[in-house]
Amino acid sequence: MRTFFAIFALAGLSMGGTASAQECTQTIEGNDLLQFNLAEVRVSAGCEEVTINLVHTGALPVTVMGHNWILTATTDYMDVAAAGQAAGAPEYLPAGDARILAATDLIGGGEETSVTFSLAGLEPGGDYTFFCTFPGHYVLMNGKFVIE
């Protein structure tokens, strides 16, 4: 145990003491009313990796009320949302699209999923938007991803 805590302390120091595990792992909920519970997800630039847990708190099936968590630059948000709709079921996500910086699976009510990705290549202070690509959902289900 002593070794474990020593490593943990060193890891904290290497990140300048600004990035707690909590800041690198965030949980966001989607419901049956086309809503995410967060309008903004903030993570520390010191995070080597970020994990987003997506929890669908509703009851409707994925084919009716599917939710995913897709991250792009804000300038790509609308175009990728349209491309996702055009890609169609079951994932509503264009394959191999380099504009997509992170993506979870599409889930239905009562399900959970997560995605872990590196912040390498993303800019602290940059303008990023997360959203759901299920047809029409991007209008209400979107928010800002802030690297600080």
Query: Can you give the binding site for Co ion, defined by CB under 5 A?
Result: 67, 132, 134, 137
Query: Considering just the CA atoms, what is the radius of gyration of the chain in Å?
Result: 16
CB of 2 to Co ion, least distance (A): 46
CB of 5 to Co ion, least distance (A): 41
The answer to whether 67 and 31 have CB atoms below 8 angstroms apart is no
CB of 143 to Co ion, least distance (A): 13
CB of 94 to Co ion, least distance (A): 16
DSSP 45: T
Residue nearest to Co ion (CB): 132
DSSP 113: E
DSSP 129: E
Q: Map tokens 């959902």 to a residue.
A: 137
- Could you tell me which of 100, 90, 26, 93 has the C-alpha nearest to residue 62? 90
Q: Closer to Co ion at the Cβ: 67 or 81?
A: 67
